[in-house]
Amino acid sequence: MTFTSWQFGLFAAIVFVTYYLPPVRRFQVLLLVVASLFFYGYGQPELLPLLAVAVGGTYLFLVLSLHDRRWLPAGIVFNLALLAFFKYKFLFLDPKAPALVDNAAIDFLLRLPLPIGISFFVFHNISLLVDLTRSKALRPPLADVFLYIIFFPQLVSGPITRAGMFMPQIVPKQLADVPFVEATKWIIAGFFFKLYVANNLNEMTAYMDFPLYETLQTQDRWLLVFLYGYQIYADFFGYSAIAIGLGLLFGYRLPINFDLPYTSLSFSEFWTRWHISLSTWLRTYLYIPLGGNRHGRIRTYLNLMIVMGLGGLWHGAGFSYLAWGVLHGLFLVIERPFLHVLQAIDSVPLRLLRMGVVFFCVTMAWIFFKLPNFEHALAYLTGMFTPTTNPNPPKLFYNLALLYALPVLLQHMRITSLFETALTRWEPYAYGALVALAYLEAGPESAFIYFQF
């Protein structure tokens, strides 16, 4: 059940109406927990026991850690072991083998599918353990812990919300306090970027996959890389926007996940604007504990490479994801010695040049993200510098490509903010137009890209 399905619309409407009924007010947390379990189990009911084990085990380690902090590392290892078991086991096992191990029960467990959103709820679990243990908080109710970890708007693809931010919000909610206008704007924007922008671009960027990319002309390969950069932004921004809007409807404010990342003047700035909740998590729970930038230049560079490499592997168990993370680590390391000098020179041409370099490098790195097979990624990249005479693919339309990418371009050019005052009276019509385009010009249905993580 995805956000863009009619089943989800019906589900969300029923939960919303029930949630604010006066007799239910005392049970709002429990209702959201049950609704979240239903939402998760709708697609993978066989993995609901795993979710219960993950949350129940984390709660047990939390109770132990609040009593004795020496249990905290064990709780973190427990969660990382769950993530490693499901996400990285086939780095060491052949999935095509008739039997992975001799034991039938273990073989059954090893063949369980990758749980949707496991990377996200494992990070929530670790945040819960660390934040509450450090703050020496009182033991929270089990239902509150379940809600924080599996709250359905953020369960599958985030944003990754820190426990210290979410847990204080768990109080009785009133319908009168719901910011309906703000929530509606977020939801409409999310659906528009997903249905109109991302889904239509997906129909074209599908040609980046093996073996379809072998039919592309050289210029087509270049075009598709940039289109994929717009697509993945629109896709993930769309999901995050819908999640934020849904959270507001139920009285919970989730963190902003994107802030015009393609306007970044440096790679370090990019990571304060792209997938903000992930970069914040990595900085808080990995980069700083490793020593951050407190132990000299070489140690700082090493920490950056470790964090970005692990950040790449967090997305998937493949050398291509590792290469994507390592590339971003190299970008950060290479720019770091020159950052203060560049920031001191405030000229428009230099700013535009810096923005162009960052955008180009980030876009080229998406090749390794789009193609998890490292050999395919290298072959695609090589083909960008090899002239070909292949015919133009039937679904690659240059004029439509610009049309579908235009909303991302306009958003990043801050067109709306420049004319915010003048456009206020026309805002309802503008959002109405977004709804119409999302409905009438929606691209073929496709799963959210980050569902696979």
Question: What tens digit of pLDDT does each residue of 353-366 get?
Answer: 999 999 999 999 99
* Identified catalytic residue from 275, 315, 328, 376: 315
Domain span at residue 64 reads 6-172
Count of domains for the chain: 2
In three-state form (DSSP H/G/I as H, E/B as E, the rest C), the secondary structure along the chain is CCCCCHHHHHHHHHHHHHHCCHHHHHHHHHHHHHHHHHHHHHHCHHHHHHHHHHHHHHHHHHHHHHHCHHHHHHHHHHHHHHHHHHHCHHHCCCCCCCCCCCCHHHHHHHCCCCCCCHHHHHHHHHHHHHHHHHCCCCCCCHHHHHHHHHCHHHHCCCCCCCHHHHHHHCCCCCHHHCCHHHHHHHHHHHHHHHHHHHHHHHHHHHHHCCCHHHHCCHHHHHHHHHHHHHHHHHHHHHHHHHHHHHHHHCCCCCCCCCCCHHHCCCHHHHHHHCCHHHHHHHHHHHHCCCCCCCCCHHHHHHHHHHHHHHHHHHHCCCHHHHHHHHHHHHHHHHHHHHHHHHHHCCCHHHHHHHHHHHHHHHHHHHHHHHCCCHHHHHHHHHHCCCCCCCCCCCCCCHHHHHHHHHHHHHHHCCHHHHCHHHHHHHHHHHHHHHHHHHHHCCCCCCCCHHHHC
* Residue ranges of the chain whose pLDDT lies below 70: 93-102, 392-399, 415-424, 452-453
Domain identity same for 287 and 384: yes
Domain identity same for 196 and 155: no
pLDDT at 95 (0 to 100): 66
Rounded distance between C-alpha atoms, residue 110 and residue 349, angstroms: 55
Domain identity same for 168 and 301: no
Q: Is residue 217 part of a domain?
A: yes
Rounded distance between C-alpha atoms, residue 411 and residue 400, angstroms: 18
Domain identity same for 152 and 267: no
Rounded distance between C-alpha atoms, residue 308 and residue 317, angstroms: 14
Q: Confirm whether 315 is a catalytic residue.
A: yes
Contact (CB, 8 A) for 340 and 173: no
Contact (CB, 8 A) for 205 and 225: no
Contact (CB, 8 A) for 189 and 3: no
Q: Is residue 185 part of a domain?
A: yes
Domain identity same for 305 and 448: yes
Domain identity same for 233 and 320: yes
pLDDT at 47 (0 to 100): 83
Domain identity same for 189 and 327: yes
State both tokens at 98: 């008739």
Domain identity same for 90 and 192: no
Domain final residue pick, 129, 148, 172: 172
Q: How many CB atoms lie within 10 A of CB 378?
A: 15
Domain identity same for 130 and 194: no
Rounded distance between C-alpha atoms, residue 155 and residue 161, angstroms: 10
Rounded distance between C-alpha atoms, residue 60 and residue 56, angstroms: 6
Burial-class residue 393 by CB neighbours within 10 Å (0-12, 13-18, 19+): middle
Domain identity same for 207 and 131: no
Q: Is residue 1 part of a domain?
A: no
Domain final residue pick, 172, 205, 227: 172
pLDDT at 275 (0 to 100): 94
Domain identity same for 81 and 134: yes
Rounded distance between C-alpha atoms, residue 200 and residue 400, angstroms: 9
Domain identity same for 165 and 187: no
pLDDT at 215 (0 to 100): 87
Q: Is residue 397 part of a domain?
A: yes
- pLDDT tens-digit map of 239-281: 999 999 999 999 999 999 999 999 999 999 999 999 999 999 9
Domain final residue pick, 108, 139, 172: 172
Sign, CA dihedral 278-122-117-247, equals negative
